[in-house]
Structure 1
Amino acid sequence: MKKIKFFVLALGLMLGSVSVMAQDSTYLSNEYAKALALFDKSQKYNDALLTKQALFEILVLNPNDSSAMRSLSELYYNSQQYTSSALVSLDMLERYPNNEIALEIVALSYENLRLYDRAVEYYEKLWLKTENTNVQYQIAYLQYSLRRFTESETNLGMIESKVTAEDKISLNKSDGTIQEIPFAAAIANLRGLMAVEQGNNEEAKAQFTKAISISPDFDAAKNSLAGLNK
C-alpha cells in the first residue's frame, strides 16, 4: 500500500522572527540568530542530529515558529520516529488548526504506527480541506483494513464518480517499487480485497480480473488473483 508523501524537509525558517524578538530582548534575539545559524550549518553538513538540536533551540525560543515545527515533524517522520512526528504535528495543530501539512503528517504517522482509526480521523480532516482523491483512496483503504466495508465502499463510489480513465494513483508493488495504476483498477482491486475478507471469493475473482483487464501489469491484483486460484 502506498504511503502518501507530499512533502520534503523544509530548509527555510522564519528569519523575520529575529527582529520581532529583538524588541523584547537582545539576548533572546542573539540566541535565536545562533540557533538559525546552527540550523543552516547542519543543513550544509547534512547532520540530522545537529538539525534536530537547532530546531529544538528555535522552538524553545519561539514556540510559535510554524516553519521550525514543520521541519522537526518532517525530520522525525523521515527518520521513522512516527510517535515523535505525530506529537510535534499535533502541537502544531493546536496553534494552527487548519495547517494541511500538520494534518497529513499526523495521519501518516498514525498509519505507520498502525493506529488506523486515528489515521482515518486525520485523513478525513485533510480530505475535507483538499478533496484530494489520493487522500480519499487512502481513507477507503484504511477503512477496509479496519473492516469498515460500508464506509470504504462509499468512498470508492465517490472516487469512481469523479475520476477519469486517465487518472492514476501510485501504489507499491510486492518488491517495494512504485507503479502507476489507473484509479479504476485500484478501486476494483480494493473491492476484491473487501470481497475476500467477507468470504465472497467469486466476487473477489471478478474484481481482481477487472482490475487486471484495466491494467495488465497491476502487481497487487495479479498476486491476489493467483492466491485465490491456488
Structure 2
Amino acid sequence: MNMKYAVLIMLLCFSALGVLKAQENASPDSTISAVPNSNRAQNEVDNRIYSLAMRYNDVSVAKIKLYELMERNPRNLSYAETLASLYFEMEQYGSAALVSLDILERNDKSLTGLEVAAFSLEQLGALERALPHFESLHLLSGDLFSLYKTGYLQYTLKKYEEALNSVNMLIKDNKSTEQKLNFPTGENNMQEVSMAAAAQNLKGLIYKDQGSTEEARAAFEEALVLSPEFQLAKENLGELQ
C-alpha cells in the first residue's frame, strides 16, 4: 500500500480526534475574560445561541455568533480557537489556516492554533509551512504524534538528517512503545501498531531513499519485532528483497 496514502488516512483519524479535544478546551463558555456588564449579558446570549446552533447542526449560525463574540471580546482568543477548529472540522482548510495563523500572531503558544495550523497547512499541501508548527506543537506539549508528523514531513521534504534526528528522538522515548497508531490495511480495515514500530518503519523509508539498503532492512525488521503483524513494514521490507 502507498505509504503517503496510508499515512494520510491515519492522519485524518487523528486530526478529527485532536480537533474535538481542542474544541472542548477552547469552548466559548470556558474563558470569559473580564468585560463590561453591558457586554457580559450579550456574551451569555450569544454563547447560548452558539451552543444551540451546534446542537442542531446549524453551523452557519454558530459561525456568525463566534464572529460576533470575537468582535466584542478581542482579547479572548478562545472564540477564534473554536472558529479555527470548526472550519477544520468542516474541511475548510484555507479558512482554518488563516484563523489559526492570526491566533499564533497574538499567542505563539496556543496549542489549538498550532494544531489547526499544522494540519490545515498540510492538507493544503504547504508542507514547508506546516512543518514548524508540528515542531512547536511537540516542543510545547510533548505530544509524540506531533514528533512523528515532524519526522514524516521532514522525510517527505527530503530533509533526511533532520528526519532521522526526529525519528531517533521518538524511538528513544519510552512512551513510544506504549502509544499506538492506526494504519489502514485494506478497504475499511485498520491495524494498530506501536508508535515505536511506526517510527522504525519511517526510519527504514529514510534509509531506503538514501540508498542505504542494509540500514533500511534493519529498521523494517525492527519495526516487525515491535509489531509483528505490521503489514506496511512487511511490504516495505519485501520491496528490498
Q: What's the TM-score bracket when you normalise by the shorter of the two chains?
A: 0.7 to 0.9
| Of 28, 34, 38, the match for 1:13 | 28
Identity of aligned residues (%): 30
Structure 2 SS opposite 1:7: helix
TM-score (norm 1): 0.84
Displacement, 1:178?
A: 4.3
Tell me the equivalent position of 1:162.
Answer: 173
Number of the residue aligned with 2:164: 153
Please tell me whether the aligned partners of residues 14 and 65 of structure 1 are also in contact (alpha carbons under 8 angstroms).
Answer: no
| SS of match in other structure, 1:20 | coil
Gaps of 5+ in 2: 1-6
2:195 pairs with one of 183, 186, 194: 183
Q: Which residue of 1 aligns with 2:100?
A: 89
Tell me by how many angstroms 1:177 deviates.
Answer: 4.9
TM value normalised by structure 2: 0.80
1:196 to 194, 197, 208: 208
SS for the counterpart of 1:125 is helix
Q: Per-residue CA shift, 1:126-172, capped at 9, x if unaligned? A: 22212322211111111001111111111112222222574233133
How far is 1:82 from its partner? 1.1
Larger of the two Rg values belongs to structure: 1
Distance 1:30-1:147 versus aligned 2 partners, 3 A rule: same
* In structure 2, C-alpha distance between the alignment counterparts of 1:165 and 1:61, rounded to whole Å: 44
Q: 1:42 aligns with which of 53, 56, 72?
A: 53
| Larger mean Cα displacement after TM superposition, 70-79 or 53-62 | 53-62
Larger RCO of the pair (alpha carbons < 8 Å, separation 6+): 2
Contact residue 168 and residue 180 of structure 1 kept, 8 A:
no
Letter in 1 for 2:197: A
Larger helix share, 1 or 2: 2
Q: Paired residue for 1:51?
A: 62
Out of 112, 118, 126, which is 2:123 matched to?
Answer: 112
The one of 214, 217, 223 aligned to 1:211: 223
Which segments of 5 or more consecutive residues in structure 1 lack a partner in the other structure? none
Change (3 A) 1:77 1:165: closer
Residues 1:68 and 2:79 aligned together: yes
2 CA distance for matches of 1:34 and 1:179?
Answer: 45
- Does residue 220 of the first structure (1) align with residue 232 of the second (2)? yes
Aligned with 2:193: secondary structure?
Answer: strand
CA distance in 2, matches of 1:185, 1:17: 43
Runs of 4+ in 1 over 6 A off after TM superposition: none
**Pairwise mapping of residues 134-145 of structure 1 onto structure 2 (< 5 A)?**
134-145=145-156
Aligned residues: 225
Q: Aligned residue for 1:128?
A: 139
Give the SS at the match of 2:19: coil
